[in-house]
C-alpha cells in the first residue's frame, strides 16, 4: 500500500475511521519506510503487527520477512488485510485480549486507546526489538525523567525491562483523518534490569500502587493497600516519607525489596487487595 491510496482504500473498504478506536491512518510513505528500517528485520524474523489498518506497514513487513502476523479487530480492515496480503497470518480479535504468538520483532502504529495495555502486554514477552508509533504525549511518558510530570508507572516498567528512546516525531498532518496531536516513533530494546529486584511481583505491585496515588507519601499509599506487613515500623522501609514521583526506578526497587524481605520474615506474601491484579 502507498500512502496516496489511503483515501481510495477508505472508500473501497467502506471503513469509517472511528475516533473511539484511534483509527488515524499513516499516509506518508517516507515515514513508513523509516519506521520499518528502524526495526532491522531479516527474512528469519517472526514479526508481529497490531492494528495493521489499511496495510501501509504490512506490505513492507511482508516483503522483508516470511513470517508476519497481524492482529486486527475491525472486520472490514481484517478482510482487506486478508485479501491484499495472503502471505500474512491474520488473527481477528482484540489485541489486548487475544494471546500474542511468538515473535522476534514488533512493529505497529498503536491507537492511543490501547497503547498502555498493549505496551504492558508487550513487555511480558521475549523479543529482540519493538518499533511503535504512538501519540507524542504517550511517547514522552515512556522516556520521562524522574520528577517530571510525565514520569509514571509506564516509565518505570519500561526502564525495568528495556532501553527505550524516541526515534523521531511525526506531525499530525501525516495521517488521515488528521488527529489532534502529533505522534512519535519509539524504539524498545529488551535488556536485563539495571538494578536488583528480589521479587518481580512485589516490585510491579509497589510501582502500581504508589503511582496510583503519586501525590501521596509512599507510606500512605502502601498502608492503604495493606502492602506493608503488619507490625512494620517506618524505619524498616526506605523512602516511606517520599513521593514516588521523586524516586528513581532503582529506589522504588529498594522499597519493594525491603517489603519482600519483611514479608519473608513473617512467612507472609505481599498482600494483594481483593479484585486487584498483579501485572
Q: What is the pTM of this model?
A: 0.89
Q: Give CA–CA dist 47/108, Å, rounded.
A: 10
Q: Give the count of domains, the chain.
A: 2
Summarised one tens digit per residue, pLDDT across range 12-45 is 676 666 655 567 889 999 999 999 999 999 999 9
Number of Cβ within 10 Å of residue 28's Cβ equals 18
Identify whether residues 109 and 67 lie together within a single domain. yes
Strand residues in 40-128 grouped as ranges (E): 46-50, 67-72, 89-92, 105-109
Looking at residue 143, its pLDDT comes to: 98
Find the farthest-apart pair of alpha carbons in the chain and give their distance in angstroms, rounded: 67
Report the CATH number at residue 59.
3.40.50.150
Beta bridge partners of 106: 48, 130
Sequence-distant (6+) residues with CB within 8 A of 50 are 70, 71, 95, 106, 108, 110, 118
Q: Which of 161, 160, 153 is nearest to 206 (CA)?
A: 153
Summarised one tens digit per residue, pLDDT across range 146-191 is 999 999 999 999 999 999 999 999 999 999 889 999 999 999 999 9
Identify whether residues 30 and 168 lie together within a single domain. yes
Summarised one tens digit per residue, pLDDT across range 198-248 is 999 999 999 999 999 999 999 999 999 999 887 777 678 999 999 999 999
Identify whether residues 141 and 26 lie together within a single domain. yes
Residue 61 domain-assigned (yes or no): yes
Domain boundary among 143, 162, 190: 190
Identify whether residues 150 and 236 lie together within a single domain. no
Domain span holding position 218: 200-265
Looking at residue 222, its pLDDT comes to: 94
Looking at residue 264, its pLDDT comes to: 80
Identify whether residues 43 and 138 lie together within a single domain. yes
Amino acid at each position: 500500500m502507498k500512502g496516496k491510496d489511503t483515501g481510495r482504500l477508505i472508500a473501497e473498504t467502506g471503513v469509517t475511521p472511528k475516533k473511539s478506536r484511534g483509527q488515524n491512518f499513516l499516509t506518508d510513505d517516507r515515514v513508513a519506510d523509516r519506521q520499518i528500517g528502524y526495526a532491522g528485520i531479516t527474512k528469519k524474523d517472526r514479526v508481529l503487527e497490531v492494528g495493521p489498518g489499511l496495510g501501509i506497514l504490512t506490505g513492507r513487513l511482508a516483503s522483508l520477512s516470511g513470517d508476519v502476523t497481524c492482529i486486527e479487530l475491525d472486520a472490514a480492515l481484517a478482510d482487506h488485510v486478508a485479501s491484499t496480503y495472503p502471505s500474512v497470518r491474520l488473527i481477528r480479535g482484540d489485541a489486548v485480549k487475544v494471546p500474542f504468538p511468538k515473535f522476534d520483532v514488533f512493529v505497529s502504529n498503536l491507537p492511543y486507546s490501547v497503547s498502555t495495555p498493549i505496551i504492558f502486554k508487550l513487555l511480558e514477552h521475549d523479543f529482540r526489538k519493538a518499533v511503535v508509533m504512538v501519540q507524542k504525549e504517550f511517547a514522552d511518558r515512556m522516556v520521562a525523567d524522574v520528577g517530571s510530570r510525565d514520569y509514571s508507572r509506564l516509565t518505570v516498567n519500561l526502564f525495568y525491562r528495556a532501553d527505550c528512546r524516541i526515534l523521531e516525531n511525526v506531525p499530525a498532518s501525516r495521517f488521515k483523518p488528521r488527529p489532534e496531536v502529533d505522534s512519535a516513533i519509539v524504539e524498545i530494546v529488551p535488556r536485563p534490569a539495571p538494578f536488583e529486584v528480589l521479587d518481580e511481583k512485589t516490585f510491579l505491585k509497589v510501582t502500581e500502587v504508589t503511582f496510583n496515588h503519586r501525590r501521596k507519601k509512599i507510606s500512605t499509599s502502601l498502608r492503604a493497600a495493606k502492602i506493608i506487613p503488619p507490625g512494620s515500623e517506618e524505619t524498616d522501609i526506605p523512602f516511606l516519607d517520599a513521593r514516588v514521583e521523586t524516586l528513581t526506578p532503582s529506589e522504588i526497587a529498594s522499597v519493594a525489596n525491603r517489603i519482600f524481605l519483611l514479608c519473608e520474615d513473617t512467612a507472609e506474601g505481599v498482600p494483594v487487595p481483593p479484585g486487584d491484579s498483579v501485572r
